[in-house]
Amino acid sequence: MAATSSWRSSATSERLAVARVLGAKGLGGALRIELLTDWPERLTPGSELLLEGEDSPRRVVDTELGGRVPVLRLEGIDGRDAAQALVGRYLEAPTRSLPDGSYYWHQLIGLKVTDPTGAALGTVEEVFRAGENEVYRIVGPGGEVLVPALREVVRRIDLEAGEMVVDYQPEEVD
């Protein structure tokens, strides 16, 4: 399998979402967040993040990653109203180089998918996490297929050719 990173990323940007603002915590501007990165160290105090839609980074002032819902404070967000106004927005960071055989999710969207014999299965329409595993949603002439992102299933990914080869037969559910 090819390892992939980032729950949400943009093919037209060199920025990737690392968290999504869920709500305010307390009165001081702290943000409850959904963590979306494989590298939580991107959220440590002193690091810089960009709010979705903004061009200037904001410094992370404080983080609480040990609780049920992570919390962080960003420079310039000083009250509950300011924090609440950010609900639903993404916190972004610059892309990182990935090891060979690893891909960002946005790189996989739109790949044409075939089986090992070359038979067309469809196109990767979505990548998402289900528990600890990633899943590729492939839509084609036969309908929708959810393919687990496992080494024994995903045989080849060729970004330049725009192709993915999978060896997968979904189990019938009674």
Percent of the chain exceeding pLDDT 70 equals 90
Confidence category of residue 112, pLDDT binned at 50, 70, 90: very high
Q: Domain 109-166 class?
A: mainly beta
Kindly report which listed range (95-99, 123-127, 143-147, 168-172) carries the lowest average pLDDT score.
168-172
Residue of 1, 7, 17 lying closest to 95 (CA atoms): 17
What pLDDT score was predicted for residue 105?
84
Q: Are 11 and 107 in contact (CB under 8 A)?
A: yes
Any idea which architecture 14-94 has in CATH?
Answer: Beta Barrel (2.40)
Question: Per-residue pLDDT tens for 151-160?
Answer: 899 999 999 9
Identical topology for domains 14-94 and 109-166: no
pTM value? 0.62
Collapsing DSSP to helix, strand or coil, 139 comes out as strand
Fill in the DSSP letter of residue 66.
S
What pLDDT score was predicted for residue 172?
53
Delimit the domains of the chain by residue range. 14-94, 109-166
